[in-house]
Structures are given as C-alpha cells and as structure tokens.
Amino acid sequence: MHLVTAAEMREIDQKTTSEYGISGLVLMENAGLAVYRTVHELLGTVADKTVLVMCGTGNNGGDGLVTARHLVNHGARVRLMLTSDPESLAGDSRVNYDIWQRMGQKVYSIQDRNSLQVLHLALMQADLVIDALYGTGFRGEIQDRLKKLVETVNDSERVVVSVDLPSGVHADTGTVRGTAIMADHTVTFGFPKLGLLLEPGTDYAGTVHVADISIPRGVSDGLRRRLITAEQISEWLKPRLPGAHKGQFGHVLVIGGSRGMVGAACLTARAALKGGAGLVTLAVPRSLQDVAAGVVPEAMTAGLAETLDGTISPLARDHILDLQKKATVMALGPGLSVHPETVEMVRLVLSDVRIPCILDADALNALALLGVGGGTALDGGIPFVLTPHPGEMSRLLGVPVANLVSDRIGTTEIAAVNWGCTVALKGRPTVIAGLRETYVNPTGNPGMATAGSGDVLTGLVSALLAQGCAPTKAMAAAAFVHGLAGDLAAENTGQMSLTAGAIIESIPAALKEVERR
C-alpha cells in the first residue's frame, strides 16, 4: 500500500478528476460516506445518537458536511459547527453546505462569541465527535479560538474520529506545533499520509482506517514509499513444496559474540532458525563455542580465533572466509564488541565478503570507526543490509540523533543511496530504504525496546534473505514479522515483561498469520 505526501495526494486527486473524469464531488461524497460507515461501526447504530461535527472551510470540511448528511439521514442528531462564515465556502464544499441548508439543518459558527459555550453544551450531549477542521493542506500552528476549541475537545474524553488527518498534524512529517486533535480513530482517504505513521502524528491519529474513495488503480504507480502489509509479505514468501529439503532454504552464517555478550549471537541464530533458514552456523570466539552449542543445539557452531579479551581476532579471517563458502548469507555484529582488534577483523572480513551480508550492532559501530565504505565492500556489488538504531545511525553519519528522528524517512533514503545498499533505521516506525523503494513498518510496541530485540530482527532478515527474498523486501518483511511477533508476545506477557526470547517464540505464530493472508 502506497504512502503519500500531501502533494502526491493532490496530484492523485487531480489525475483522478482530469484523466478519469471522476469529479471532486464524487470523491467528496465517497469520503464522507466512508467516515459515516466508520462512525456507524463504532456506535453500533447512529439512530438516536448525538454527533458533534466540526467543519473547516476547505475540502476536509466538505467531507464533514457529507458525513453529517448521512448521519441525519440515518436518524442521528447532528450538531454541526463551522469555523467561519458560510459565504467563504466554495466549490464542492459549498455544494454540500447548500444541501445541508436545504435539509433545514442548523449550523453553529465557531467564530461566534458564544461558540465555546455552545461547544461545551454539544460535548456534554455528544456520543461522538467528528473532526473535519483541517486536512492535508494544514501548515503551521492552530491559533486563537480554534486552539481553545481543540483543547476543549481533547479534554472532553469523547470518542473522536478525524477526517483524513487529525487537525493540527502535518501531513508529511507528523509534526505538531502547539496543539492538535487527539483522535481515537482517523479515516484517511485513498492512501495513508506519511504524518499518520511518523511521531508524533501517529500518537494523535489513533486507529487508522484507510478508505477506498474510488481512486482508479494505477494512478499511484511510480511512488516509491509503501506501508508494509501482511498481504504484501505473503506474496513475497515462497510456499514450501512437499519434496523440499533443508538445503533449499539457505544457510545463515552468524558471526558475533564476545566474552559476556555471546547471548546476542545466540538470539540471532535462534531467530534465523525460527524464520525458516534451512541451516545456521553460529561462529563465536573459540572459548565460547561450547556455550553457544548448548544454547542453540539446532545450529552448527564454529570456534574462531580470539583476542586475549575473548573477542574475535583478525586471525579468524581465513576461517570466516572458509565458512562463507558453504553459507548463503552472513550476519555480522551481534555481541561482537568494538575491541580494536575486532574492529580490524571486521575490516578484513568485509574487504573479502562474497555473500549477501547483514551488518548490525557492533559491526555498525566498527563501520563508524572505519568510515562507511572505507576499505569495505559496501559499494562492491555484494548486497548489504544495514540495521542501525538512531544512535548507531548517528555515529555512522556523524549527525545528532535529533536530526535523524526529525526526518526518519529522508535520512534513511539518503543513507541507502549514498551507501548503495538497503538500510533499516530501527525505531518507531522502522523505515527500510533501498535504492528504488522505501517501506514503513506499522507493527511493534514499546515493550520491544528490550535487550536482544535487535538481534532477533537480524536473525529474521538473515533467514528471509537466505530463502531468496530480495534484500529490501527481506528487510521489510522481517521488520513486519518481528513487530507482529512482539505484538503477539505482548498479548501474553504484557509490554513491561516482554523479552527477546518471547519475541522469538512468537515468530511462528506471526509467520502463520502472514501466510493466511
């Protein structure tokens, strides 16, 4: 499913109207009807219910007027408040206002001196509030009387449904300056807007419902940004045939671990196995091989040359090259440490890497110390997938974390192009960018901010890449399944008690849910 900016959505609407002959009035009618249907579903029935509808003067307000008409037609009591003089309405919004007037329905002005008193009374009686004040064209900050109105609605504890976007949220960035409507549900039209997925906009949007308003298929072709869905992933994952054997599902080589951190590499290996890899080899410092074998008995293990401090030594280079010859994919980094000799090992291994490679954790920190691309094969034709969290991305780019999180999508896309590989910036939301496509992941919860969660993600993407999924799609699918597994696990443990091990144990259920789509 495509993700769009406000400008892209305007262009889609214009193409729909000019090239396909579907008028703006039809699109507005379909939009308002979609909001009505959501309200009906939330209330069970709208008959004898009281609904407060707040409308602006643009197309968003016109959508609200259509919704109000359908509510009245089905027996609801509607209190409609308009932000300005009705004479300022134009186009399709004016058409729907005139219909409202002909129906003999009352309009209250939000600009009136007594509007806040009217609002308080309406909220006391309301079963639900519809926010159709501002749409995707909103910029800046809500001011004056409307600011007080928004704050009053937010304090009312009434169920709020926003039309297309919560008023006060920037459609492209999710930015909120001052105040914005805190919606319980948002009905967005055609395609989700970026601001509904990005913080803090996602906190204001509540549950997002994407409504079909009859935009023709193909109008959005060429857009690079997509929301990851289970239906999409189910198309990417290949079904297993009855005569299949383990050699057909890839061999993941996990290189990591150090004294005190061997558990990270073990989590990656376990996740790779749960993610469907046919074979997994777990390569750790020689003194930790027996420990690793006991933790992950399904994996083969290898003991690598180590430093005096129990980290992987540069002397392990030839052994790792031999292990690569039998592997399909290499995952480098979990629990590795940034011991100076181990950083040198990373440089040596990457200079000779021959198979697709996932770099995570201390492999990324080593890259930051070495300089991304300097002495490595990131631009040498081998597929790489980098999975930094904001702190690691900050070290790689040499920019403050705050600058990254203020433009998660743009930062990730630029990094992917500059480094010539797939980059996944972890967090809320995780953004995955390749050279031609970008995915935003909707799954996951705050309980997944726990030790080892990132190692699990590394194992999952390694398994999917080993099974033949293209790098960017493998990363997008892994992020979705990882988040879904975390959501399923949290249903049993709660978010506070969620562990990486619990996420791993929920991977089969998450994959099964995806496969059913």
pLDDT at site 102? 96
C-alpha dist (Å) from residue 303 to 294, 316, 336, 345:
14, 9, 14, 15
Same domain, 250 and 204: no
Same domain, 209 and 299: no
Same domain, 92 and 137: yes
Quote the CA–CA distance of 391 and 400 in Å, as a whole number: 9
Same domain, 283 and 140: no
CA angle 254, 260, 263 (to 5 degrees): 40
Say if 85 falls within a structural domain.
yes
Closest CA to 349 of 255, 422, 419, 258: 255
Same domain, 338 and 438: yes
Quote the CA–CA distance of 105 and 48 in Å, as a whole number: 16
Q: How many domains does the chain have?
A: 2
Show which of 190, 221, 252 is a domain's final residue: 221
Question: pTM for the complete prediction?
Answer: 0.90
The domain in which residue 140 lies consists of 6-221
pLDDT at site 222? 84
pLDDT at site 413? 94
Same domain, 180 and 64: yes
Same domain, 172 and 287: no
Quote the CA–CA distance of 237 and 231 in Å, as a whole number: 10
Domain at 216, CATH number: 3.40.50.10260
For residue 176, give the 3-state DSSP assignment.
strand
Same domain, 338 and 484: yes
Quote the CA–CA distance of 182 and 159 in Å, as a whole number: 10
Show which of 221, 254, 272 is a domain's final residue: 221
Same domain, 423 and 392: yes
Say if 267 falls within a structural domain.
yes
Say if 1 falls within a structural domain.
no
pLDDT at site 377? 45
Quote the CA–CA distance of 506 and 136 in Å, as a whole number: 38
Write the CB contacts of 401 (distance below 8 Å, at least 6 apart in sequence): 390, 391, 393, 394
* pLDDT, block means (10 residues), the chain with 517 residues: 94 95 96 98 96 94 97 96 86 95 91 78 93 91 87 94 96 93 97 94 96 92 92 90 90 98 98 97 98 97 98 97 96 97 95 93 93 57 92 91 89 91 94 95 96 97 97 98 98 96 97 90
Say if 353 falls within a structural domain.
yes
Residue whose entry in the numeric block shows the structure tokens 């509007």 = 115
Show which of 188, 221, 254 is a domain's final residue: 221
Domain at 362, CATH number: 3.40.1190.20
Residue whose entry in the numeric block shows the structure tokens 């601001």 = 195
For residue 241, give the 3-state DSSP assignment.
coil
Is the CB of residue 342 less than 8 Å from the CB of residue 317?
A: no
